[in-house]
């Protein structure tokens, strides 16, 4: 039987299992390396009818938080989440708070939720901040609801769209957008060779033509209501800025890797500043995952509906350990 530092394979496996539940990774009889847990929270697009119903029916705390949310929002979002239609759930004013609620209540329902670092994709950053204790559940939900309504108004003010670009380096996409004489920018750096661009309808069309000519494997127009994370969200940013400035933020229990710069933050004022800038700045998800890995993340957990972020993390680092 193979031995590991004088320990047979059976004992080594038992030690590994014990170490896992103690929050560390056991490599051999002499070296113990502590596990760093990274929790990640999804954004808009991960929703599905029925999401969160198990949390409502299976937990007194979950039911209480959902009912609190119904009261805060002024409508029964639980009816739309649990028994609604795909169309009703796609409304921005519903989608964003619904995903936020599912993610945060899921985090609160975990007995062993003790993150070493957290991050959220776009909307998911609000979920990450609440889960890490940087703001209260009530304040987080109110901000998410205000964000959704402000974004919806900005979308209605000027028709705009987004498109996914597959198969090109970041620099090629950025250069093509810069060459277009319309509003169009790189908005989501999701994983290597997969970006989302955002801007005016004409700007996105022209950029897609250039990127197809440059060798993109695919350019896919997204079924979204507007140009999120672009300069066209400036009216929403201005509207949300006052609400964020008036909200109490605390130091989180762990570093929060924020979308605007992909760096870890713990200072409440810096977190506020970055959260305000987020609406018109790109989501640097590729860089967030790379920085988490560089800072020692050994285990990723996605909290929220769907498995989108699991796929993106794996595309950044194929050997990553990730679960939901």
User: For the chain, how long is the longest CA-to-CA vector?
Assistant: 70
Q: Is 229 a catalytic residue?
A: yes
> What is the layout of strands, in order, in the sheet containing 37-41?
264-265, 256-257, 117-120, 37-41, 299-302, 322-323
**At what angle are helices 60-73 and 137-157 packed, to 10 degrees?**
40
User: How far lies 274's CA from each of 88, 239, 240, 282, 283, in Å?
Assistant: 31, 15, 12, 11, 11
CB-based contact 249:268 (threshold 8 Å): yes
Q: Is 160 a catalytic residue?
A: no
User: How far lies 171's CA from each of 149, 253, 316, in Å?
Assistant: 33, 35, 17
Among residues 121, 229, 230, 265, the one annotated as catalytic is 229
Among residues 122, 127, 145, 230, the one annotated as catalytic is 122
CB-based contact 316:290 (threshold 8 Å): yes
| Catalytic machinery residues | 122, 229
């Amino acid at each position: 039987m193979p031995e590991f530092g004088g320990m047979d394979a059976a004992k080594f496996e038992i030690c590994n299992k014990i170490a896992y539940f103690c929050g560390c990774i056991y490599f051999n009889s002499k070296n113990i390396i502590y596990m760093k847990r990274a929790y990640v929270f999804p954004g808009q697009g991960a929703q599905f009818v029925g999401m969160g119903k198990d949390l409502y029916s299976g937990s007194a705390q979950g039911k209480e938080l959902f009912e609190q949310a119904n009261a805060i929002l002024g409508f029964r979002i639980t009816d739309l989440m649990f028994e609604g239609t795909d169309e009703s759930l796609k409304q921005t004013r519903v989608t964003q708070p619904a995903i936020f609620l599912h993610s945060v209540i899921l985090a609160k329902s975990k007995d062993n939720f003790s993150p070493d670092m957290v991050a959220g994709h776009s909307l998911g950053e609000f979920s990450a901040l609440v889960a890490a204790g940087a703001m209260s559940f009530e304040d987080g939900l109110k901000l998410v609801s205000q964000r959704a309504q402000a974004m919806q108004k900005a979308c209605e003010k000027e028709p705009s769209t987004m498109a996914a670009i597959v198969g090109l380096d970041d620099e090629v996409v950025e250069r093509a957008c810069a060459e277009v004489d319309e509003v169009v920018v790189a908005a989501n750096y999701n994983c290597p060779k997969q970006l989302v661009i955002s801007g005016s309808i004409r700007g996105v069309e022209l950029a897609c033509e250039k990127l197809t000519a440059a060798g993109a494997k695919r350019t896919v127009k997204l079924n979204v209501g507007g140009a999120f994370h672009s300069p066209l969200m400036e009216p929403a940013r201005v509207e949300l800025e006052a609400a964020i400035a008036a909200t109490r933020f605390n130091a989180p229990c762990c570093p929060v890797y924020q979308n605007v710069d992909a760096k870890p933050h713990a200072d409440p004022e810096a977190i506020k500043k970055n959260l305000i800038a987020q609406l018109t700045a790109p989501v640097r998800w590729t860089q967030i995952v790379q920085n988490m890995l560089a800072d020692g993340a050994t285990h990723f957990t996605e909290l929220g509906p769907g498995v989108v972020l699991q796929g993106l993390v794996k595309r950044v680092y194929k050997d990553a350990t990730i679960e939901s």
